[in-house]
Structure 1
Amino acid sequence: MTRILVVDDDPTVAEVVAGYLLRAGYTVERAADGRAALERVAAARPDLVVLDLMLPEIDGLEVCRRLRADRATRALPVVMLTAKGDEHDRILGLELGADDYVTKPFSPRELMLRIQSVLRRSASPEPGTAPGPLAAGDLVLDPAARRAQRGGRELALTLREFDLLAFLLQHPGTAFGREELMHRVWGWDFGDLSTVTVHVRRLREKIEDDPAAPRLITTVWGVGYRFDPSADGTGAGPQEAVDG
């Protein structure tokens, strides 16, 4: 059964969130501060963490940073709870690797939809349903294993980053707007467009030789972003990777 850790020091919020999750069939654990949350994750890794940013002991941003710095929890799905006006913290949370966010006061139904979306993305695909490995120059993605490498080096990508890069690899040379990327990559019909901007910036930091002058994921002014596979210097476009 899917286990979800709810981390919030407000007992009312934690109780409401836990109640909805329990009724949806999830197993729920709770932690009231960041230190307790990290201890629970270390003791028994959950399937997803609902993480409030404003926490005693260790705040939510630091909790997220530590989870992403640890290889064992690097891919652990995290959905943040943020105050409505804290755009800076929300963007910083995404930059630290959170997979999604919901702003307070929030609709429990919206939170459930976000959680279900993240869990669906994190689940291993059914055999034969995932596209085959993709390659562009020295960049290789295996959607079935959810692994990415560049030059033989493993890339530490979050769920959202992996999905975005896989989508761009499958559509080389095509420019996509931020709204279109939100809908086609993550299935969102609403949300903050800065989410796309943050994930593009994080991807560039991990795959570009010079993130300040990106050549693989380029900005198309007035439109959005485009993946240019030939910019890796090999002249090779995306292709299905083959063994040997």
Structure 2
Amino acid sequence: MKERVLVVEDEEDIQALLGYNLAKEGYQVEFVATGNECLEKIHEFLPEVVLLDLMLPDMNGLEVCKSIRRSEGLDSVAVIMVTAKAEEMDMVLGLEVGADDYIPKPFSPRVLLARIRSVLRRRKGFQNNNNTSSFSQDVLQVHQLSIHPGKYEVFVGQEKIQLTYSEFQILYLLAQKAGWVFSRNQILDHIRGHDYIATDRTIDVQIASIRKKLKGAAHLIETVRGVGYRMKEE
């Protein structure tokens, strides 16, 4: 079955460029030009990947990404921001709201296709690992945290915590080896791959967001100055 890509882009020439290259690679492609159209189409089309322009006619792409991440049943959808804004802060904001990757315009179609393959490969690999281990360990218990890899669910006590896909991966990585220290590069390689270009700020933003969502359990993620992060040892 062809993997589905939803392109959210209002410029027709870019739509044509993306459509040609994605179809050539064997993807099933649908196009929308506004954020509201995206939020309607995504539930009908159920894409594996959304290519999301940051600057849309009706709403900001960041708001669209937030809405996708808050929607039930869309946890497995990868979101790649595609935009002419290439500042580090724009990338950080995209990651904060749950984007999986960020590609500035103008872009090479080959680079974009490689990023799509990389995102799909990471997600499939993570899901396969979870499926393999779920028979022996459905729920990972660490301190007051309950982490269910098969369902992408996290509870602090009885309260369910909503994490983005990348945030879940980071928390699960740290929780699996409580007490072990992971450098920022190790965390980045685990969740995004060795070919992902980013700064230390990328992981710091993700960790800060996880801590905020964990509320009273935020102290469980410890900073090891000059090295990285770890889950507090039990």
TM, length-normalised to structure 2: 0.85
| 1:155-204 alpha-carbon deviations (Å, 9 max, x no partner) | 22222111111111122212222122111333233311222122111111
Cα separation, 1, equivalents of 2:181 and 2:160: 27
Q: Partner amino acid for 1:130?
A: S
Corresponding residue of 2:204? 197
Corresponding residue of 2:170? 164
Tell me by how many angstroms 1:84 deviates.
4.7
| 1:89-129 alpha-carbon deviations (Å, 9 max, x no partner) | 32212111112211222232332232223223444427852
Matched, 1:176 2:182: yes
SS in 1 for 2:80: strand
Structure 1 stretches of 4+ with a deviation exceeding 4 A read: none
Kept after mapping to 1: 8 A contact 2:145/2:155: yes
| 1:69-93 alpha-carbon deviations (Å, 9 max, x no partner) | 3224355321111335333232212
Q: How many residues align?
A: 227
Gap runs ≥5 in structure 1: 230-236, 238-244
Q: Partner amino acid for 1:87?
A: E
Cα separation, 2, equivalents of 1:120 and 1:12: 28
Cα separation, 2, equivalents of 1:91 and 1:34: 20
TM, length-normalised to structure 1: 0.82
Tell me by how many angstroms 1:48 deviates.
1.9
Tell me by how many angstroms 1:6 deviates.
0.6
Matched, 1:90 2:91: yes
| 1:188-227 alpha-carbon deviations (Å, 9 max, x no partner) | 33311222122111111122417xxx41112211112121
Corresponding residue of 1:39? 40
Matched, 1:125 2:132: no
Cα separation, 1, equivalents of 2:93 and 2:112: 20
Q: Partner amino acid for 2:211?
A: R
Which piece of structure 1 moves more, 159-168 or 183-192? Answer: 183-192
SS in 2 for 1:215: helix
More helix by percentage: 2
**Does the C-alpha gap of structure 1 residues 152 and 110 become closer, same or farther in structure 2, counting only changes over 3 Å?**
farther
Tell me by how many angstroms 1:138 deviates.
1.9
Among 204, 209, 213, the residue aligned to 1:206: 213
SS in 2 for 1:204: helix
**Does the C-alpha gap of structure 1 residues 126 and 189 become closer, same or farther in structure 2, counting only changes over 3 Å?**
closer
SS in 2 for 1:49: strand
SS in 2 for 1:168: helix
- Report the aligned-residue RMSD: 2.3
Gap runs ≥5 in structure 2: none
Kept after mapping to 1: 8 A contact 2:81/2:102: yes
Q: Partner amino acid for 1:164?
A: I
